Structure formats: C-alpha cells, structure tokens
Structure 1
Amino acid sequence: MSPEDDGLQTPDLTENIESPRSSPEAESKKRKRTEDAKPISKRAAKRKKSKATSDPLDEALDTEKGINHAIGHMDPQLLADHVAQRNRRNQKELSTVELEDLRIPANAIEDSTDWTQPRDLEKLPKFLEEYAQRSHKTKNIFLKSASKNKSSPHTLIVAGAGIRAANLTRAVRQFQTKDAKVEKLFAKHIKMEEAIESVKKSRINIGVGTPQRIIDLLNDGALKSGSLKRIVVDASYIDSKKRGILDMKETLVPLMNLLRREEFLERYASSENKLQLLFY
C-alpha cells in the first residue's frame, strides 16, 4: 500500500531548508578561504621577510650623526658575542668549528662602558687619553711620544674605509709632533710602495688605517708591532646605509684576520705585555 493509499502525505524534506549557497555566513567563509589561498605578492613577501629579519639593534642607529650607540653599551662579553654573531651572519659558508675559531674571547676586550660621551670624531682624542692610562704598564706612555725604533706605533686605529680613516687621522693629528708621526695606513690614494717607504722612514706614534692595508704592511715587515700597546676599532661609526666595520663581509673578514694575528692573541690577556683591544 502506498502512502497515498492510506491517506497520509509524504512530507517534502527540502521544504524550508536553505541552500548553503544562499547563506550569507557560508558565502563569507568561502570568500575568506579564497583570499587566504591567494599567493602573496613578491613585494608583500619582501616586506614580511624584511620585518622578520630586522636587526634588534636598529633602534640604536643614529643615521644623522653616523653612530651606532649600542656599541658603547656593550661590555666585553656582549661585544664578544656581538662580533661572533656578525661572523655567523656574514660568513655563512663557515662551519661551527671554524666560526668558533674566529671568536675573540671576552677577556681580550677592554671594558669601555663607563665612557658616556658620544663616540664621534671630536671625542676620540679624549677617549684615547682616558684609556691609554688604564693599564699600569702604559701610565708613563704619552700619546705624543714615539718609539725610537722607526715603523713602531704604540696605537693602531682601525677603520672600515679609506675616507673614514682619513677623517680619523685628522681627528688625532693633535698628537703628532716633529718626532712622532700620525701615519696613514690605508689604500685610498696611497700606493703600497709609497706606504712602505713612508712607514719605514718614520717614527710613528699612531697609525690609522684599514684592516687589509695594515695586514699587508705587517706581513711586509715595513710596519712593526713590537711597541704596540693598543688597537682601537672604529666600531660605532655607521655609513649612510647604516653599516659599520662589523656589518660588511669585506671589512669584517680582514678585521678578524688582523685582530687574531698570533702576535696579538697571545698579548690580549697578558699581565706583563698586555695589548689593549678597544671598540670605540
């Protein structure tokens, strides 16, 4: 017997049931899924990547004055970690063991966090005077004096570029006398042969230059490190692109090669013949 035969009506199961397509809520969810599935544009992806990889120290960069203020707040351990981090970033081809070999120990770095003045060109002479007196072995060594041996500076100031080194040279020219020369040790407008000749014939108190030129002069034998008392790295300075000597591979690699020379490493923590390593 059919339902019609017993007088009962079969209910219409589709009556009053809305199609999912007609539901505003369903349409909204569908649109959201479609938008989420859309590929991110190259520009948006670049912005997202840039935001994710931004350096936490960027807020300390004063582009108007050309100073990375963070350097001045780093104690020796923080500086050692900072340099190690820059090595990892700029020398990704090196293994963990090789990177560890590049590490400068914290006890090699002189603490200069108590220097509260700006680390600019104007204050550099006062900075040198202050920290030249920190070691009891250097109390009687005046910055205007030079070794009787030619080619033997007591201070090396290391910059990332020739133009910056030239500006640093002018900043410390006040320490030059007729018996003690502030020597230019950078390649800009100075050929290697000219540099060798000038260094060999001069009594030098302060040498200012770039890492690779200093290395080349040391390797040649023209520049001697026997009287060296301190190395000052021009670490706070940044250029118009917010880059300092520790931020670019082309300057960081030769700087590491210079600072980790065998004759320097054995003296950083020495109690008798200490070599000061300062980050200005």
Structure 2
Amino acid sequence: MSHGKPATVPRSENMASKAKSKKRAREDDGGSRKRKKPSAGEQDDIDFDLEAGLNKKIALLDSFLLADHLAQKTRRFGTDLKPVELSGLDISPNAIRDTTSYQGIRNLDNLPSFLEAHVDKPEQLGQAPKQNGTPHTIIVAGAGLRAADLVRAVRKYQKKDNSIAKLFAKHIKLEESKLFLEKHRTGIAVGTPMRLNDLVESGSLKLDKLERLVVDASHIDQKKRGVMDMKDTMLPLARWLARPEFKERYTDPEKPLQLLFY
C-alpha cells in the first residue's frame, strides 16, 4: 500500500477561491464594507446646486459652525491684517440665530417665508418705523445685481408708508441712496456691505430700530462663489457684521439684534 503525497492545489486556483470567498462575504453582509470618503469634487456635487444657484451646505450649519466658517473665511482673505484686527472681526456663536430648523429651499421665492419664520409677528414686516431711513430689517448681498433680485423677492412687503430701500452701488449713486433714505419710511433695506457702511457713516442710514440682519449666504454664482467666498465681498461683510453697535446688541436681552444666515 503506497502512501503518496496529498495533491496540491495550484496557487492560481487557490487565489481565485479566496477571492470568491471574500466576494460571498461582502454579499452576505449586504456590502456594508467601509466606503471611501467622497473626493473634493464629489463633495462639491453634493453641496452645490448650480442650476438653482445654491450652496446647500449653509442651511445645515448651526450657530457654532457658522461662526467657525466666518472666522476661517476672514482669515483666508485677511492675510494682510494683524491678528488683533482679525480677532476683532470674529462673531460669537451666541450672536448667530440657529436657522437649521427651516425646511424650505433657500432661494428667492422662499425668502419671505424664511423671514416670517423668524419674526414674532409676520405682519410687522409690512410696516416701517416712523422715522425715515430707519429699517427694522437689513438684507446683505454680495453684489448689486443679486441685491436687486432680493428687493423683488420682498416686494410683497412694500406699501405706501413702507418702502423697500435699494442700497447698492450698481446704477445707484451714493447721493441718490442718501436722498431716498432721508425722504422715505423704510422697513426693509437691501444692500451690499460697503454701501451700507458708507450710508451709516454718513448718517443717512439709521440703526436705532434695527431688529435683524440677514446675510444672503446660500446664493452662489456659476463659479460656485458666494458672498463669503471672495475677498472683495467677504472682508467688507466681516467689517459690516462686526460694527461695534451690532456686537453690543447681538446678545443684549433688552434690545436683541438677530443675525440670520439665509
């Protein structure tokens, strides 16, 4: 009786068998293997809706994440500023109203419903303080053309004694904006950061009755850039939001100023 050596399996067949076993194991566990994180390009596809002109990620950021996002953008574009200047532009998370519970798409059509969701009495949006040039709401945009679109979006609140102020440089001279504010009761003003700052400094735009600041943060252009994604708009925005009279009121329980990111 002979005792031969056990038959050996060719290495190629053995490897193929192991590969099949691994494949069966993946199928048995539902393919629940750890997936590779999306690349930057894939993440862009998730966050950006170019057809609608929206950065959908903004709607998911709570107060702490928005404050951090602002600080990162300020430091990215403020490389020529001193550390003390940069820290002076920081906004506390406590100053930012958490709007993540708002379920609507943050486009032009839904801007009125967003405002109404964050006002105690929505009918007040159609009213204006008695003193001319003293809005209760200021909406901040990155460019004049976008600001003009926002003006049209809130046109429903305009009445005989409540004008919507266009406070941006595109086709509107500074003196024209001053004259408008001096002659009209204004409940809602829409403008760009530099023009808004200039009008406050001139005394034409008064902040005594201001109740809310709304940043048009979700809108992007075809290059996926929003108001916080360009130096020419981010730094003026940071300076506008960090005005001393605003910072004093963001967390003031007696006369609070809402800071909302749309």
- TM tier, smaller: 0.7 to 0.9
Q: Relative contact order, CA 8 A, sep 6+: which one is greater?
A: 2
Once the two structures are aligned, what percentage of the paired residues are identical? 51
| Aligned twin of 1:182 | 164
| Aligned twin of 2:255 | 273
Q: Partner amino acid for 1:279?
A: F
Aligned length: 224
Q: Give CA deviations for 1:133-171 in whole Å, capped at 9, x if unaligned.
A: 2xxxxx487100100111100000000000000000000
Quote the Cα distance in structure 1 between the aligned partners of 2:214 and 2:42.
Answer: 25
For the Cα contact (< 8 Å) 1:57–1:70, is it kept in 2? no
| Aligned twin of 1:73 | 60
The RMSD of aligned alpha carbons is 1.8
SS at match of 1:207: strand
| Aligned twin of 1:10 | none
| Aligned twin of 2:87 | 100
Quote the Cα distance in structure 2 between the aligned partners of 1:53 and 1:140.
Answer: 40
Given the two structures, how large is their TM-score scaled by the length of structure 2? 0.82
Query: Could you list the runs of 5+ residues in structure 2 that have no partner in the other structure?
Result: 1-38
Q: Give the CA deviation at 1:101.
A: 2.2
Q: Give the CA deviation at 1:94.
A: 3.0
Q: Give the CA deviation at 1:58.
A: 6.2
| Aligned twin of 1:29 | none
Does residue 125 of structure 1 match 2:107?
A: no
For the Cα contact (< 8 Å) 1:234–1:245, is it kept in 2? yes
Quote the Cα distance in structure 1 between the aligned partners of 2:45 and 2:194.
Answer: 28
SS at match of 1:212: helix
| Aligned twin of 2:28 | none
Q: Partner amino acid for 1:222?
A: S
Query: Could you list the runs of 5+ residues in structure 1 that have no partner in the other structure?
Result: 1-51, 134-138
Computing the radius of gyration from Cα coordinates, the structure with the larger value is: 1
Q: Give CA deviations for 1:38-68 in whole Å, capped at 9, x if unaligned.
A: xxxxxxxxxxxxxx98796663011111000
Q: Partner amino acid for 2:219?
A: Y
For the Cα contact (< 8 Å) 2:213–2:260, is it kept in 1? yes
SS at match of 1:184: strand
Q: Partner amino acid for 2:157?
A: F
Residue number among 209, 213, 225 corresponding to 2:207 in the alignment: 225
Q: Give CA deviations for 1:95-136 in whole Å, capped at 9, x if unaligned.
A: 444322221100000000001110000000010111012xxx
SS at match of 2:72: helix
| Aligned twin of 1:59 | 46
Does residue 113 of structure 1 match 2:97?
A: no
